[in-house]
Amino acid sequence: MSLINFLKKKPSIKNKEFSVEEELLNEGSSVNDIIIPLHVKKKQEGVLKKIVKNVFVVKSVYDIGKEVMVFGFVEEGVLKKKMKTKINGVVFSISDLKRVDSVKELTSGVEGSIFLKGDKPCLVKLGDILVFK
């Protein structure tokens, strides 16, 4: 058979009704299982842990002389004492955390107050988002 005859020959396709599931499988859009090697998975988990930030959203601010009390909620991550943030180029650290009483940490989704200590006055206002390290 020559190449021209081979190209002219039409493929024989049997008439078959496809279900919706078969069409999706043929397009490859319903593949749910992905196999990830363990060494890659460990690296990805390590990167995800580094990406999580400690974010605090300010609802109100009270100036108490050397310290500033900021009330709000933790949007993401966990806040602990001695964590630091930069506000207008000045580094502030958390001196105390409170809900009703002093607590060791504030977790994601929890409302509470943080007391910030810094060298200069703190210029925090309603709606500010503070990222702690």
Domain of 100 in residue numbering reads as 53-132
Question: What are the pLDDT tens digits along the chain (133 aa)?
Answer: 577 776 666 655 555 555 555 554 554 444 456 777 887 777 777 666 666 689 999 999 998 777 899 999 999 899 999 999 998 888 999 999 999 899 999 999 999 999 999 888 878 889 999 999 8
Please tell me the pTM assigned to this model. Answer: 0.60
Q: Which of 9, 133, 5, 14 is nearest to 77 (CA)?
A: 133
CB atoms within 10 A of CB 97: 20
Residue 84 resides in a domain: yes
Residue 33 resides in a domain: no
Residue 10 resides in a domain: no
Residue 72 resides in a domain: yes
CATH number at 64 reads 2.40.30.10
- Tokens 């279900």 belong to which residue? 19
Residue 96 resides in a domain: yes
The domain tally of the chain equals 1
